[in-house]
Amino acid sequence: MSFIYYNANPKKNRVGDCVVRAISKATGMDWEKTYVEIVLKGFEMYDMPSSNAVWETYLFQHGFTKHILPLSCPDCYSIKQFCIDYPKGNYIVGTGSHAVAVVNGKYYDTWDSGDEIPIYYFKKEEK
């Protein structure tokens, strides 16, 4: 099974912080440091930390590249399938309303989001 329960939130909250949890897992940073750095990026950009522009800029500055998934079969491709297709590496996969960390072919989340349809992903580039 490729799903692994993961909730780095210190209060174990499960709503509204999926980006922070995903980035925390994919970068190996704790939730608090990740949250503060994204908030500071939002302050620097005069935008909300939950804004796609903010957390995407944050990821770019931390060595991630963005990739769009083809829409050849949008209803038949899932996060589970993404894990099969990308068995190595650190990724943050976006569905448009959710973000999940995929690390070495396993997805880490507070719920089994494997059937969600990914539309883009960020890949941590190796140096």
Domains of the chain by residue range: 3-124
Helix, strand, or coil (residue 21): helix
Judging by beta carbons within 10 Å of its beta carbon (0-12, 13-18, 19+), is residue 97 exposed, middle or buried?
Answer: exposed
Distance CA 112, CA 100 (A): 10
CA dist., res. 41 & res. 60, Å (int): 12
Question: Is the CB of residue 40 less than 8 Å from the CB of residue 82?
Answer: no
Segment 42-95, tens digit of pLDDT:
999 999 988 999 999 999 999 999 999 987 776 779 999 999 999 999 999 999
Is 113 in contact with 107 (CB distance < 8 Å)? yes
For the segment 89-120, what is each residue's pLDDT rounded down to a tens digit?
Answer: 999 999 989 999 999 999 999 999 999 999 99
